[in-house]
Chains A and B, each alone.
Chain A
């Protein structure tokens, strides 16, 4: 009798799991070629590489650092603290279950730096304020493409398009676009180097798996990891969870900088209906260089 009770519980649990799976599968729309439909405008959340022990970063110091804007004795930081908040108000009003965000592997959020490379990036950061030279000006400020974890996810949405044989991700940020080829099985020749890399993809159920290589090493991971290497190889997994959510996970393999792979997760949420993609002419509104170095000489 005890055994049959347990069996009944197990059967009930299995039924619930099956029903949940069916409901999940049903909630994903499909295109005419049976691919999961991920088209539309989304905002991205949580795709950041914030380490457990972040390095001292003089261009963007945290509260405990002496340069911190929060340490002014008059309490007059550059902004009310409210402006550190924001982000993803652009998305629709749908509620989100707790999802995995940030560094998910290693679980302790300590990246597997090659010791000499960790020293090098910490020194690089120190030389960014005051900027030692043009190379030490933040890539974002120089209107470079957003790399892996840069960009302003709170302000700038992403649009997914699915023309035949491709998935195209249009970043509002800096007019960046990535074309993921679903038919090609091999990457471009090694002589072809691209800011956002060469991406080929395939579907595994509701998950778009994207393999990217051929980076040119001229974009950054993040504000704290201000560059990446040409040998970077990423595998991204975009899982269409439902009509409004795409779960995201990326595995980083950059053997010049790290001794092993690490992973970051986050998710895309469908944007509110009134969100627009606004022209991002970065060179027009960014005046970083003259704010740091002064106006260029008159011609």
Chain B
């Protein structure tokens, strides 16, 4: 069912027109610093203008770092089929994105893989080519 909602949302998006994201991607994140982490979701905040996903990631030395990933606006996520409980705390995820210019465990989320293999897109700031 959730997959159906997701597919329907994607179909609607494909039929729609370009939009402008809240902020320009390139000023804040570095497209040359892609990142992929595996970790455990600690919380998700459905806040405007961007939702944020927090993930505990175990480093090679055993320490745990809490990463935060910027997602799209709540309305964008809802249109993509997300709900506030789509990803619950404790869920193991693989998430890809691009790191913030200032560094640190902060990134703009691109896509998120769930344990059952589903991949969720983050609905975030759009590349300009489509504006």
Contacts and interface: CB of A to CB of B under 8 A. Distances in A.
Interface string B61-98: 00000000010111110010000000000000000011
A232 interface: no
Interface stretch (A74-82, A184-192, A238-246, A255-263): A74-82
Interface in B30-82: 31, 34, 45, 47-52, 70, 72-76, 79
Given A79-B121, A87-B18, A90-B75, A294 B103 contact: yes
Given A85-B18, A155-B76, A278-B75, A63 B28 contact: no
Contacts of B50: 285-287
A234 interface: no
Contacts of A153: 19-20
Interface string B1-36: 000000000101110111111111111110100100
Interface string A27-52: 00000000000000000010010100
A290 B20 contact: no
A288 interface: yes
B112 interface: no
Interface in A51-110: 57-63, 67-70, 72, 76-90
A154 interface: yes
Contact of A292 (B79, B101, B110): B101
Contacts of A154: 16-17, 19-20, 76
Nearest to B106: A291
Interface residues of A, number: 64
A81 B18 CA distance: 10
Given A69-B25, A79-B122, A50 B102 contact: no
3 A-B pairs with the lowest CB-CB distances in the bound complex, closest first: A84-B130, A154-B19, A285-B47
Given A85-B14, A287-B52, A293-B102, 20 more contacts: A60-B128, A68-B127, A77-B31, A78-B110, A79-B122, A82-B13, A82-B14, A84-B18, A85-B17, A87-B16, A129-B27, A130-B101, A137-B27, A152-B73, A278-B48, A281-B48, A288-B27, A290-B106, A291-B28, A291-B106
Interface of B: 10, 12-14, 16-29, 31, 34, 45, 47-52, 70, 72-76, 79, 97-98, 100-104, 106, 108, 110-111, 121-131
8 contacts: A57-B24, A78-B29, A86-B123, A130-B101, A153-B19, A286-B22, A291-B28, A291-B70
